[in-house]
């Protein structure tokens, strides 16, 4: 396979991935990961190209559509889906990938249009892209929604909830490239061996300043190629979700229930902390989600954890007052992970947030009964929305026999917030190096 042909195939793969995400509604992280798993034979640079163009096009979609609209007589919503997608991915390369000559981007786009049987539109594709390439140095954006490619209603919501400089810090952070965050499994005594394994494969593991068991990986190709991953030494898990477990403070021999556990990172973390004398029950709503948890359990080789299918909305009499710790990391709008799943910002609506906030309350109204007296309940989400976070936590404390726990001493001293004493924290991208995440810790009284 020639380098040119291989690279053309990489562009065609991007086109197919983006068609699945933008035109058929597939979740970007799932579609991209499935494609990369299917085409593992691609060279490292081609895999990196596919990932960057896919994620970058989605990150900057609003801005890209605005730019296309300035140079096309046909409105973007009236275009053929394939041509619309082809233009979007090509404009991203023109605006944000300096190492690729603009002429090459235009030529490859025309070739793909012809290959996909849109011969009659190759002149249109060529004309729009070459005009943008010629005049990209003078582009101006009408507002910050276009500049940061963030829906205006989301920006307005956040500006009502946070200081303006905090909001702009979030917007910038969502567009920054981030290294893969992993948690080191096992005890601290096992961690040096894990780091040696990573280094032996040319992977750089940068230690987090916030917690000693988190590493940021760079210099890797794909996760499954890492011996440390295959052996269950590392778990892909963001720093923010690690904090949810640290805030719960599981102790040796305790019984823990994780009611919405997939893919199981927090459950496995708790299993490490409770030891062989303790036990973790990791639940989720469907067999497919439970299989994700089971895959991670098998890879880790953990014996003190079991996954089972269970709908958190259905009351389980057998679980009443059984849990020392109950972790309720509940379904949410996911606004905190826009940096890793950029299509979320185009799918969520104000109604979505309202519906999810209600669902969270419904689940909490069922699962609190599984907590022992003096036991701990952790409520967490990976979003940035007061309705789903602070308002629901306050509602829970009013309605049920729980009181907030001061978690200042449980989390890293570098994590500063006055709210820690009140039992909760809202983590914001741009303010600290992780996903947007909320956690609140309660003790049953």
Q: What is the pLDDT of residues 278-317, one digit of tens each?
A: 999 999 999 999 999 999 999 999 999 999 999 999 999 9
Beta bridge partners of 437: 427
Mean pLDDT calculated for residue range 190-215: 95
Full strand arrangement of the beta sheet holding 204-207: 204-207, 214-218, 180-184, 234-236
Predicted local confidence at residue 399, as pLDDT: 97
Predicted local confidence at residue 9, as pLDDT: 85
Residue 6: pLDDT band with limits 50, 70, 90: very low
Mean pLDDT calculated for residue range 247-268: 97
Q: What does pLDDT average to over the chain?
A: 95
Contact status, residue 269 vs residue 242, Cβ threshold 8 Å: yes
Predicted local confidence at residue 269, as pLDDT: 97
Task: Give Cβ neighbours of residue 39 (< 8 Å, ≥ 6 apart).
Answer: 13, 47
Q: pLDDT (tens digit, 9 = 90+) per residue, 230-255?
A: 999 999 999 999 999 999 999 999 99
Predicted local confidence at residue 4, as pLDDT: 41
CA atoms within 13 A on the CB side of 314: 7
Taking 90 as the threshold, does the pLDDT of residue 220 lie above it? Answer: no
Residue 412: pLDDT band with limits 50, 70, 90: low
* Rounded-to-integer distance, Cα 175 and Cα 172, Å: 5
Mean pLDDT calculated for residue range 48-73: 96
| Residues that are catalytic | 382
Q: pLDDT (tens digit, 9 = 90+) per residue, 146-179?
A: 999 999 999 999 999 999 999 999 999 999 988 9
Predicted local confidence at residue 336, as pLDDT: 97
* Rounded-to-integer distance, Cα 64 and Cα 76, Å: 10
Q: pLDDT (tens digit, 9 = 90+) per residue, 15-36?
A: 999 999 999 999 999 999 999 9
Contact status, residue 185 vs residue 300, Cβ threshold 8 Å: yes
Q: pLDDT (tens digit, 9 = 90+) per residue, 269-287?
A: 999 999 999 999 999 999 9
* Rounded-to-integer distance, Cα 294 and Cα 308, Å: 9
Taking 90 as the threshold, does the pLDDT of residue 39 lie above it? Answer: no
Structure token digits, residue 170:
């979030």
Predicted local confidence at residue 7, as pLDDT: 46
Predicted local confidence at residue 411, as pLDDT: 86
* Rounded-to-integer distance, Cα 169 and Cα 388, Å: 21
Beta bridge partners of 323: 371
- Go through the chain and tell me how many residues it has: 445
* Rounded-to-integer distance, Cα 110 and Cα 131, Å: 14
Q: Does an H or E element contain 205, and which?
A: strand 204-207
Check whether the bond before 85 is cis (ω within 30° of 0).
no
Task: Give Cβ neighbours of residue 400 (< 8 Å, ≥ 6 apart).
Answer: 364, 365, 368
**First-to-last C-alpha distance (Å) of the chain:** 67
Contact status, residue 309 vs residue 316, Cβ threshold 8 Å: no
Q: Which of 237, 230, 285 is nearest to 264 (CA)?
A: 237
Taking 90 as the threshold, does the pLDDT of residue 87 lie above it? Answer: yes
Residue 37: pLDDT band with limits 50, 70, 90: confident
Contact status, residue 388 vs residue 356, Cβ threshold 8 Å: yes
* Rounded-to-integer distance, Cα 84 and Cα 363, Å: 41
Q: Which domains occur in the chain, in start order?
A: 3-147 (1.10.940.10), 239-444 (3.40.50.150)
- What does the angle CA 220 – CA 223 – CA 225 come to, to the nearest 5 degrees? 80
Q: pLDDT (tens digit, 9 = 90+) per residue, 319-373?
A: 999 999 999 999 999 999 999 999 999 999 999 999 999 999 999 999 999 999 9
pLDDT cut 90: percent of the chain above it: 91
């Amino acid at each position: 396979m020639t380098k040119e042909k291989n690279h053309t195939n990489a562009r065609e793969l991007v086109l197919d991935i983006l068609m699945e995400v933008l035109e058929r509604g597939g979740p970007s992280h799932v579609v991209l990961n499935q494609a990369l798993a299917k085409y593992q034979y691609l060279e490292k640079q081609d895999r990196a190209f596919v990932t960057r163009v896919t994620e970058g096009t989605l990150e900057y979609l609003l801005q890209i559509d605005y730019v296309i609209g300035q140079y096309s007589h046909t409105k973007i919503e009236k275009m053929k889906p394939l041509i619309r997608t082809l233009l979007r991915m090509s404009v991203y390369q023109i605006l944000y990938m300096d190492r690729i000559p603009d002429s090459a981007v235009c030529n490859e786009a025309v070739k793909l249009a012809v290959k996909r049987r849109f011969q009659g539109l190759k002149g249109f594709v060529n004309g729009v892209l070459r005009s943008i390439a010629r005049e990209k140095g003078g582009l101006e954006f009408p507002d910050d929604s276009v500049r940061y490619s963030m829906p205006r209603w989301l920006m307005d919501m956040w500006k009502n909830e946070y200081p303006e400089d905090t909001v702009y810090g979030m917007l910038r952070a969502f567009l920054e490239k981030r290294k893969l965050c992993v948690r080191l499994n096992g005890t601290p005594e096992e961690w040096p061996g894990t780091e040696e394994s990573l280094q032996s494969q040319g992977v750089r593991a940068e230690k987090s300043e916030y917690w000693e068991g988190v590493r940021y990986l760079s210099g890797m190709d794909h996760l499954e190629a890492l011996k440390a991953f295959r052996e269950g030494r590392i778990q892909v898990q963001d720093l923010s979700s690690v904090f949810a477990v640290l805030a719960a403070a599981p102790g040796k021999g305790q019984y823990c229930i994780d009611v919405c556990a997939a893919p199981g990172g927090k459950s496995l973390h708790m299993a490490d902390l409770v030891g062989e004398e303790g036990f973790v029950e990791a639940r989720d709503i469907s067999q497919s989600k439970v299989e994700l948890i089971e895959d991670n359990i098998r890879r880790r080789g953990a014996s003190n954890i079991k996954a089972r299918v269970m709908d958190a909305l259905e009351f389980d009499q057998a679980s009443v007052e059984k849990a020392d710790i109950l972790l309720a990391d509940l379904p949410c709008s996911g606004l905190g992970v826009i940096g890793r799943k950029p299509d979320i910002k185009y799918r969520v609506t104000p109604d979505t947030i309202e519906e999810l906030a209600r669902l969270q309350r419904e689940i909490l109204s069922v699962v609190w009964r599984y907590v022992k007296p003096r036991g701990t309940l952790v409520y967490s989400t990976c979003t940035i929305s007061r309705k789903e976070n602070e308002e629901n936590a306050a509602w829970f404390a009013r309605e049920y026999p729980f009181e907030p726990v001061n978690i200042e001493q449980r989390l890293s001293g570098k994590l500063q917030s006055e709210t820690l004493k009140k039992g909760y924290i809202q983590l914001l991208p741009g303010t600290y190096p992780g996903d947007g995440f909320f956690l609140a810790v309660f003790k049953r009284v």
